[in-house]
Amino acid sequence: MDPATIGGPEDVRNNHRRSDGTVMLIGALKLFKGLLLLLLAFGSLHLLHRDIAETLSPIIAELHIDPENRHFARALASIWALDDRALKRIGAGAFFYAALLSTEGIGLLLRQRWAEYFTVLVTGSFVPLELYELARRATVTRLLVLAINVAIVWYLVAHIASTRAAVRRPL
């Protein structure tokens, strides 16, 4: 390759195509998480005014989940203890967070510049909370979530900066 052409219009287009794939992957991940949270929100509202144990027991049996498993038993105990007020709070929080994630995901999938900024802002705003939770009780899952979110913010900031520089650079 001729050194004079490095950084030229073709390189800008090739780098933009590669970064579009990563941005699309981030968008798909955000949208998937948003849909999962939407299911959680509807599920929590579905459990209102019902006996949670009676409602979930057939599902647990159908999935062949061992309710005596120490990790699962602890989670089940927490779920059984939920009252209607807690279910409403979980539903509202899940709807709100699902809306944020879905907005990010759809915007990124539609290649909207505002969605890149919005995702940096929203995802970055959760990093201090994730650091606090990690400091309170370090787990592999918490560390992984933090690492993924920091990587997403870092990548999008670099992507925004590089596309801004490419737009300003005369061709």
Instruction: Quote the number of domains for the chain.
Output: 1
Residue 58 lies in a domain: no
Place of tokens 């390189």: 11
Region 56-85: what's the mean pLDDT?
87
Please give the pLDDT value at position 16: 52
Helix axes 113-136, 9-46, angle to 10 degrees: 60
Amino acid at site 143: L
With bands split at pLDDT 50, 70 and 90, how would you rate the model's confidence at 164?
confident
- Alpha carbon distances (Å) from 82 to 45, 61, 87: 12, 20, 7
Average pLDDT, the chain: 88
Residue 74 lies in a domain: no
What DSSP line would sit under 13-37, residue for residue? HHHHHHHHHHHHHHHHHHHHHHHHH
- Asked if 80 and 52 touch (Cβ cutoff 8 Å), the reply is yes
Percentage above 70 pLDDT, the chain: 86
Please give the pLDDT value at position 171: 54
Task: Examine the pLDDT at 169 and tell me if it is beyond 80.
Answer: no
Residue 19 lies in a domain: yes
- Alpha carbon distances (Å) from 79 to 65, 74, 170: 15, 9, 59
The two structure tokens encoding residue 14: 């090739």
Residue 53 lies in a domain: no
Please give the pLDDT value at position 71: 79
Percentage above 90 pLDDT, the chain: 64
Among 17-21, 64-68, 96-100, 160-164, the least confident range: 17-21
Residue 156 lies in a domain: yes
Q: What is the pLDDT of residues 30-53, one digit of tens each?
A: 999 999 999 999 999 999 999 988
The parent domain of residue 103 ranges over 3-47+82-168
pTM for the model stands at: 0.79
Residue 76 lies in a domain: no
Residues 6+ apart with CB under 8 A from 90: 40, 41, 44, 82
With bands split at pLDDT 50, 70 and 90, how would you rate the model's confidence at 59?
confident
With bands split at pLDDT 50, 70 and 90, how would you rate the model's confidence at 170?
low
Among 46-50, 102-106, 117-121, the least confident range: 46-50
Region 90-98: what's the mean pLDDT?
97
Residue 86 lies in a domain: yes
Residue 67 lies in a domain: no
